[in-house]
Every structure is written in structure tokens, then in C-alpha cells.
Chains A and B, each alone.
Chain A
Amino acid sequence: MAQTTSIESDARLMAKIARGDSEAERELIELHFPRIYGLACRMLGDQSEAEDICQEALVRLWNTADDWTASAKLSTWLHRVVYNLSVDCLRKRRHMMGSEDVETANLFSEQQSGIDEYASNQTADIVNAAILSLPERQRTAITLVYHNELGNIEAAEIMDISVEALESLLSRGRRKLRDNLFDMRRDLI
């Protein structure tokens, strides 16, 4: 029922955007941009690239406003586009660098500068770096479920995987995070 209500209210919001309602535009950006930005930052480890990806996704959404049908949740649609664009971006980066190791190493160095801006203490810095060192799909699953607080079905739909596969990614991601932070865990908790 809540899902239906959300889909209907999303459709009303999109209809307003198609009519050029500036208040609706602001509402949509304020509601969805922070969440998709968080996902893109976590996936890419780079805030300016994350902003570009979010802008691309939002422009695509604006362009579909006229034809928006009440069959999908806006948040699912947006998260999915951001997820796919981020995967493409990572793939290009990997291709340019020549190997996955370089990508991970790069992420780590980029993260540090990015994290300094948004984390307010040392614990957050360390944990953020540990999250960003997780494999791409594990950190995406963790971000969607823990930080963007999406349900398991929606998160699985965004990543185009089954709920079982999502649960496996979450378990492995959490375990790896715990292992990575094991030595410093006593100080952190």
C-alpha cells in the first residue's frame, strides 16, 4: 500500500515537473539528490565525478517527465541510473588505468582527500576508507541498505540482482569490513 502511494505521489510530482513547476523541481532535487550523491560518492570515491553523474541522472529524469508512467518508484529509477552510470565510469577508469589494482589504489588516494571534507572525525575517516576499499558491488550494497535505507527488494532491483545475491554481498561486505578494521576495532568502538 505504502509502495503504491509512493508510486502515485511520484507520478504527481513528475507531472508537475513536466508542466515546469519550479517548486516541484526544488522538492525533487532536495529529496533525492543527497541520497544519489551519497551512493555515487561511495561508488566512485570522487565527489566531483559523483556530482557529474548525479546531474546526468537528473537531466535524464527531467527529459522523461513528459512520458513518466506510474509504474516505477522515482527513487528506484534514480538510484538505478546513478548505479549504472557509476559502473560505466569505473569501467572507463579501469580501462584507462589498465588494471583493477590501479583502480582500487586510486580510489584509496582519492578517498582520503574526499573523506576529509565530509567526515568530521578520525573514526569516520578510517571507516569510510575501509568501506571504499571494499569491492564495488559490496560497498554499493552496503550503501544502499545501510546508508540510503532502502529495502532489500528495492536495493536488489537497483543492482539488477536477486535478493539472495544482495544478502550474500551484504554478508561478505560486512565480514570484510570487520576484518579490515579488526586491528583498530577496539579503539574505534
Chain B
Amino acid sequence: MTRPNEQDPGTLARNIRLHALRMTSLGGTSHIGSIFSMADILAVLFGKVLQIDPALPKWPNRDRFVLSKGHAGAGVYAALAECGFFDRQILDTHCQDGSILSGHVSHKGVPGVELSTGSLGHGLPVCAGMAYAGKIAGKKHRIFCVLSDGECDEGSIWEAMIFAAHHKLDNLVAVVDYNKIQSLAAVSETLGLEPFGDKWRSFGWSVREVDGHDLAALEMDFSQIPFESARPSCIIAHTTKGKGVSFMENSVLWHYRTARGEEYDAAKRELDALP
């Protein structure tokens, strides 16, 4: 599928990262590492894949995008603004007094946000309900849900996985931003998820694993959804937390830390230099 208002994913990815760096710095709050790890996934989805129309955010046949890892909301706000859902200038209010742009993604007053999240494990189950509704209505649109790896500690995710496979929801796509670092430590040191792909497969999902920073590979996978008919699709995107800024990459510190002063300037220089 193609859509009229496509954007170059590389450019969009860089803009999402630059916006998010500025937004989290201005707002004094972060999760920048979690935003950077999924920026390329967002860029491919919002630049190429999602059938959406910023002029008609509630168009009934639109693809639904839900950020289940709500703490990375700044990335979604940036993607929506870049796609024209609202004015880019609003981004600079992020997390500040009186702003509608909360640190965890919220739909109130923000066109293009389908679901407000923040507490983990909520997005995929609601998406399963949306996908079920689409199926019984005979609709063709798809439901895309981006999850974090740490979020898969939540039992509600596994409840939704069982439900989606049982009801053959092949209009549902889960994308796991598998950056392998959660809030306090590595996923493997906290609650190991491996063999992760096999777990999803054994729950009845059709699974592909991809380099989550390879834009062409992501686009290729997204173009082949559903991977199998009558099965929900899962993309395990192997990513790097903090991707794009050398000193943030693979660092637990940058789950919460906010870039300011020299750190901000250094991060911006690195992002500006991206191709």
C-alpha cells in the first residue's frame, strides 16, 4: 500500500529524535533512550506505512496506531506534528505547566493519538479489542501497537496475546522495541524474555525479527503484513536504547536522564550530523 502524503523515513527519524531531544530538555523530563530506540520504527510507520490522514484524524478506515510503551510519548507527538496533525510549535510545551502534551502519551486535545497510555501493559489488550471490532465489521484497516520489552513483564500482555491468536486477529500487529534495557537494568538481568520470538510463536503469532534501525528492512516487513493469514503479526525489532547519540546508547542512565547544557549540545551535534 502507498499513501499520498508519504515522508522519507530517514528524515522523519532524525526530526523525531531532534524534537524529542529538545522537548525532553525543555520539559525537564525524559525517557529519551526509549524514544530513540523506537524512532526508526515510528519513522517508517508514520512516514510510509500507516494509512492515515492528518486532515481527518478520525477517518473510520484509518490504520490505528497505539503506543503501548506510553513513556516514549514525545516520539509520537513529534511524529504526529511532522505528519501535520498539529502545529510543531506545540511540541515545545511538552511536560510544562498547562501543556496537553504529557510525558506519557495522552489523546486529550491531541489529534492523531488513539489511546492514552503510560501504565504498562494496557495498549496491546485495547488494540486486541479494536482489532476484534474491525474483524467483526469486515473492515480492512490494521491496528499497530508498539510495545517495550520491559512491558512484556506485565501479565495483561500475555492475556492479549492469547486472545488475539485465538480470534485469528491478522489485522493486529505488535512491534516490540527490543532494546534490551529496562528501567533499572538489562532485561536479561531483570526478567529474561528469551527465547522471546519463540514465546510469541508458541502463543500463535507469526513472528519476524528485524534490525529495528534498518529502515528498508522495517519497511519490507511492514509491507508484508499479515505475515500469515489468520494469525496476528509480531515484529521483534532489535534496537539500541538511546540510538543516534553515542553517549546515550546502551545506557541505563539515559532511561531517565535529561540532556541539558553541554550534553544537549553534544547530542544535537550528533543528531544533526546523521545522514
A and B associate: no
Task: Mark B residues whose CB is within 8 Å of A.
Answer: none
